[in-house]
Structure 1
């Protein structure tokens, strides 16, 4: 309810601004001035007066789409009063209520005479009308695409190998935003199609200083509607990276795609690089291939390009060793590929890379006074939570928080729940003098307010996943990938590999379902063909209808 209440307040504010800046214009068009203050109806009357489809008024207050449509409607209104120059249009778009107010309260503002016939228009005026028509067509094409992007499905590319060989580097997917209920937009004023920033300032800049693609001050709370399903074990899920420190808006954080391996209430564990849930080994689906990292020492150089053509995805670091041979660090090999490589005549030794048990990638120890943690190993990655002697191969057991769970909060458990309490569930958390305060009250327990999930990559040794950033809150879930609409090998550079794959289109992966778990996935090429036929067929018949109507006139 908080979402819709906040949304209503925004609508009322915009309607008051609209009324104050246009009520005289409505009066001159023959309407009651109070109509300028009524949401939706004010834009309905503008569309009626300018002879545009009146149902467009319904688009005026949609998140992200609404600001675009409002600008269009404001331009229509200004054109009724002869404000059609480039300067007029620019001011209407960038300073809508201020500029419309100057027109509204201007002494010389009158309705434009619309009795002149098309035959008496100058060539310049005809050219201007054609240009406006073209701009209008482009605008509504953008609006239509934005509606699909925001409210139905969103394209998503796979830039890394964390989900190989289920999702390949260079796969481009469509994500169904309704899979787990639709999460309503939380930043309604934003540039269409851009996720978080307008541009990247590069490695030397601070990411927090990158220009945002949304207005952070105009915000709506989290709300999900029509939620008939929740993420299940083995679902491939798209979600917003929980610990993104650049973006405060949940729906603007970086999108990630991983497999949901454990749901709320489950216990997750890694033993020697093997995954267990509730004490049982994971179920490997038909489209999954378990992979592990290996170190290979050879006497002579391996034919990596040839191996890539044979085995597909094969990120590897190649180094010359002090014995005159070569050392290869393979990021992820299936059991079959590892077995084949081991039999090559150049191979001297081959060993799976597994971290020793109880050796944390980063280890933190609690001080004697139990007020802070001290880092005992300085490396480049940290395991969640920071005070456990775990690593990516020996991890847990870790219970995933479930809505309604009452958990004990102390200095030992705080690193596990501090993000849950403060960031994900938006409480004020303080740790002072060995005592824990939530919203100003000292406590030793906390009730979980939403479900959480464990999201892990299929390519376990090449995946930045929940073992590093922790639980994924339900509010961060975007949806399920539906199908791969394009797949291009080599389109993304791999910084972890000495060898870059050649570019080629993987035709066999296009328009195939991504989330079935089947080895042989269904192709949806016929759906794509139908959409194209309907689109171009509809466009053809609309043009034919307009031509016949013009000829008859």
Structure 2
């Protein structure tokens, strides 16, 4: 007779059963662990808060973002409250502890960031000093990858001399001249036109979706519609690198080399203006000047080799997007993932019964 088996069976019978409360707590803990792993390594949900990606993505779209597309980024700040933003809105209470910081590391992914991808990343130029993975999330379209020479000519992006295809529903702004007659608000709403400025009773700047442009021009009170493009050589202080040496603006910019891991540049006044923030802030070096000499980490240097890859991101709504043209490069350690699916879309300007944009639910992102 198997006495061991009988003894084990007797012990199991004598073992006290879990209470209903304990079973619920175990189930909740298990669900939290599983969901945290899924959110950290596979995908997360994000909301579109602004119009910078219209008409591809709309304000009120809710997205699934794949982290395995480019490889899951391991937490830089591992001690944080899951499923919450870095601060509690209003009170600005941190939901993380920055006493423990881990080095950047990314697991292997399904691929690399490609031109045309809609990418979620942490905002590089955030004024508040906090860990990379706790910074505000942005979503833009990648138009330049490491090693590319990026240039914008008359609002069209080029990489290495080749035109980068615009998103199918990319938007531009137009200078509109009317007869002076009032514009019908219902028409403006139906055509999904954003009136940015009114300069005079008959003069406007508008963002007009491509699908609406032809119909809008056909109205009798529309005299002229001209794409609004800033001329080449006109300096804009809001535009990267915010230096008069580079007379660049939103629509005419560059050429500019996007740093690639292993790329070496000579250090001089011009390259420090363009790449100084990347060298010092993103790659954690101490950069000082001693007359004409550049000192990096206490050592005189006449060149620098980049440790990371960088990307150039722009919104599809080109004249209503704060993007790389304004703050520069996106380092690889800021990349979160690739936007894949719009799982829900809410139009807060509509009545309660009409707020859900059903035609955008479970829609693939292109």
TM band (smaller chain): 0.7 to 0.9
The offset of 1:190, in angstroms, is 0.2
- SS of structure 1 residue aligned to 2:270: coil
The offset of 1:131, in angstroms, is 4.5
Query: For 1:274 and 1:211, how far apart are their aligned partners in 2?
Result: 42
* Structure whose residues are more often helix by fraction: 1
Query: For 1:196 and 1:476, how far apart are their aligned partners in 2?
Result: 15
The offset of 1:389, in angstroms, is 1.0
* Structure whose residues are more often strand by fraction: 2
User: Looking at CA atoms only, which structure, 1 or 2, has the larger radius of gyration?
Assistant: 1
2:204 matches 1:328: yes
The offset of 1:466, in angstroms, is 0.7
2:362 matches 1:511: yes
Structure 2 unaligned residues grouped into runs of 5+ = 1-11
- SS of structure 2 residue aligned to 1:413: helix
Size of the alignment, in residue pairs? Answer: 351
Match of 1:183 in 2: 73
- SS of structure 1 residue aligned to 2:64: strand
2:289 matches 1:407: no
Root-mean-square deviation (CA, aligned residues, Å) is 2.5
The offset of 1:272, in angstroms, is 1.4
Match of 1:383 among 234, 240, 245: 240
- SS of structure 2 residue aligned to 1:460: coil
Match of 2:116 among 222, 229, 234: 234
2:94 matches 1:212: yes
Q: Tell me if the contact between 2:51 and 2:59 (Cα under 8 Å) persists in the aligned partners.
A: yes
- SS of structure 2 residue aligned to 1:173: strand
**Cα deviation code 1:49-103 (max 9, x no counterpart):** xx9xxxxxxxxxxxxxxxxxxxxxxxxxxxxxxxxxxxxxxxxxxxxxxxxxxxx
**Cα deviation code 1:166-189 (max 9, x no counterpart):** 112211111111111121111111
Match of 2:177 among 283, 293, 297: 297
The offset of 1:334, in angstroms, is 3.5
Within-5 A mapping of 1:309-328: 309=190, 311-312=191-192, 314-317=193-196, 319=198, 321=200, 325-328=201-204
Q: Tell me if the contact between 1:385 and 1:416 (Cα under 8 Å) persists in the aligned partners.
A: no
Q: Tell me if the contact between 1:400 and 1:471 (Cα under 8 Å) persists in the aligned partners.
A: yes
Match of 1:173 among 56, 63, 85: 63
Match of 2:293 among 430, 435, 458: 435
Q: Tell me if the contact between 1:382 and 1:468 (Cα under 8 Å) persists in the aligned partners.
A: yes
TM-score by length of 2: 0.88
The offset of 1:479, in angstroms, is 1.0
The offset of 1:193, in angstroms, is 0.9
Structure 1 unaligned residues grouped into runs of 5+ = 1-50, 52-114, 119-125, 202-209, 363-380, 491-499, 518-553
